[in-house]
Amino acid sequence: MLSHLSADMRIREEAFGPVASLYRVADLDEAIALANDTSFGLSSNAWTRDEAEQERLIRDLAAGGVFFNGMTASHPALPFGGVKRSGYGRELAGYGIREFCHVTTVWYGPPNG
């Protein structure tokens, strides 16, 4: 775990591996602003059992997934993917299989006549 971090440190880039970055913030508003102030957005993790906080984080965090009281995980039954520079689209589950489909739009105008 890395602590005593500031917003200008390079750890704000997308880090993979067993790394936890700990930032101290005054409140939920500051936490959301800090989390969204990045060009990446694969997933987010929050430790709270407060349902109002959970709903707010789901609504306001710019991330492909929001995981509560645990680390980011991938499961075949759930779509997985990021936003911003962390990827486009989803893999796994119904949403993921549609990423491999090409849809054709067909439209017929009114008949002449």
What is the average pLDDT value for the chain, to the nearest integer? 80
Residue 66 CB contacts under 8 Å (≥ 6 apart), including other chains: 43, 44, 45, 46, 57, 58
pLDDT one-digit tens code per residue, 93-107: 666 667 767 777 778
Cβ(61)–Cβ(45) under 8 Å? no
Residue located via tokens 């990423």: 99
CA distance linking residue 12 with residue 39, whole number of Å: 9
What's the pLDDT tens digit per position in 23-48? 788 999 999 998 898 887 778 888 89
Query: Nearest to residue 68, comparing CAs of 41, 49, 46?
Result: 46
Query: For the chain, which domains are there?
Result: 10-98 (3.40.309.10)
